[in-house]
Amino acid sequence: MQDLTKGSVGKNILLFSLPLLAGTLFQQLYNVIDSIVVGNYIGKEALAAVGASFPVIFVAISLLIGVSSGISVVISQYYGAKQFDNVVKAINTFYAFVLVTSIFFSFLGVYFARDIFELLKLPAELLDDATLYLQIYLGGMVAMFGFFGTNAILRGMGDSKTPLYFTIVSTVLNIVLDLLFVLVFHWGIAGVAYASVISQAVSFIGAGVYLNRGSSLIKFSFKNLVVDFDILIKSLKIGLPTGLQQSFVALGMIAIMRIVNDFGTDTIAAFTAASRLDSFASMSAMAFASALATFVGQNLGANKIDRIKQGYKITLLFSSIMSILVSVLMYFFGRELIMLFSTDPNVIEIGYNYLVIVSSFYVLFSAMFVTQGLLRGAGDTLIPMFITLFALWILRIPISYYLSRPEIGLGSDGIWWGIPIAWTFGFLASLVYFLSGKWKKKGIIKH
């Protein structure tokens, strides 16, 4: 565990970020390998089906993402204040919450999968594959929730290395099982879904065994799953706005997917491939924002405001450099990267246009994400939620819909232009709120 309230600010953030960045890289590889195997060995229809499933999966896990961020902030602030008894109570409370919610969402996802895709007017040739993939994936949500939740707990206590190790195990196992189930057993798209569920389950079980033996604070046991309602309420106050934010983001992705669906299988496949590559641009912003959130949580718990401001500036610099490098890569090698997923010329051209438009604004996205990471670390999640909802539902979706209409003449490119417009507003609004200083009063530790 790492105490981020002492020592060099830049060194602390960089050393804490690197394992997170590596872990995020492996998580993105996890998704990319799935898509490459599907696109090359099953077909572009199956690739489009997996892409259509992703926003629905994101809706299902968005509540967990929010509550995980809330519990991570609570743990980091208790940890920074050296209140270790409350750290243990928060961990047990979170695991109890994860168990109940994962079972509930698994049932909903499996039962309503086909109805969801019919509501979204998914092309008929994709419906069966998308339904099968989604039912298998969501059927394993207990393992997925447990795996992500354990990682969030460890990050809150300043440990970014252990989540990396288990993410690597999960990713490597997923790649092996993908190839085995698809190329050897010929299970098709079902094999890809089973590979994901099994790899997450193995990593979650492995993490549980490791932590029970090697940690003084985390002892996973069903008899310890006692809910401390005071801590749960604090976590939900911080986490629910983020969870709702993620839910509306996920629903927004579904709305975007509904617009994309009108352009047919090629555009769906191109969007799937390009967005997988796009995720590599977001990974540095996500890693640095997550590191900053933990840094802010611990230092706010220790009442070190100047240290927080210094950390914000340094994190912005780190994330901006990474974003520029990825933008250059996408611009010059975008077509070759899309070809990893599909050799269809139309798919390649549509996907490359997406990358050129969106990658030009990665620095803005990174700055927005890092700024909101600081606010989340302080426990101030309500205003970022409203900023995100406005950027998505008032700007991005209507603009993407309007610009993609036939009379405008941009075609599917019009959909992609809505993305950087929303990012621009999101960053500027988040920056104005950060400069107001109201986030300083949101910590759960009162000094």
In tens digits, the chain (447 residues) has pLDDT values of: 566 777 788 888 888 888 878 877 777 777 777 777 887 888 878 877 887 787 778 777 777 777 777 777 788 778 777 787 888 888 888 888 888 888 888 888 888 889 988 887 788 888 899 999 999 998 888 888 888 778 777 777 777 788 888 888 888 898 899 889 998 998 988 998 999 899 989 988 887 777 777 666 666 666 777 788 888 887 777 777 777 777 777 777 778 888 888 888 888 888 888 887 887 777 788 888 888 888 888 887 777 888 888 989 999 999 899 889 989 999 899 899 899 888 888 989 999 999 999 988 999 999 998 998 888 888 787 888 888 888 888 888 899 999 998 888 788 899 999 989 999 999 999 999 988 888 777 665 555
- Can you tell me the distance from the alpha carbon of 323 to that of 313, in angstroms, rounded to the nearest whole number? 15
Which one, of 2, 5, 147, 153, lies nearest residue 88 by Cα? 153
What is the pLDDT at residue 444?
A: 58
Neighbours of 43 (CB within 10 A): 18
What is the pLDDT at residue 148?
A: 78
What is the pLDDT at residue 305?
A: 81
Q: 């795996």: which residue's tokens?
A: 147
- Can you tell me the distance from the alpha carbon of 256 to that of 247, in angstroms, rounded to the nearest whole number? 14
Which one, of 428, 360, 439, lies nearest residue 390 by Cα? 428
Q: 């610099």: which residue's tokens?
A: 317
Q: pTM for the complete prediction?
A: 0.69
- Provide the token pair at 184: 């050897």
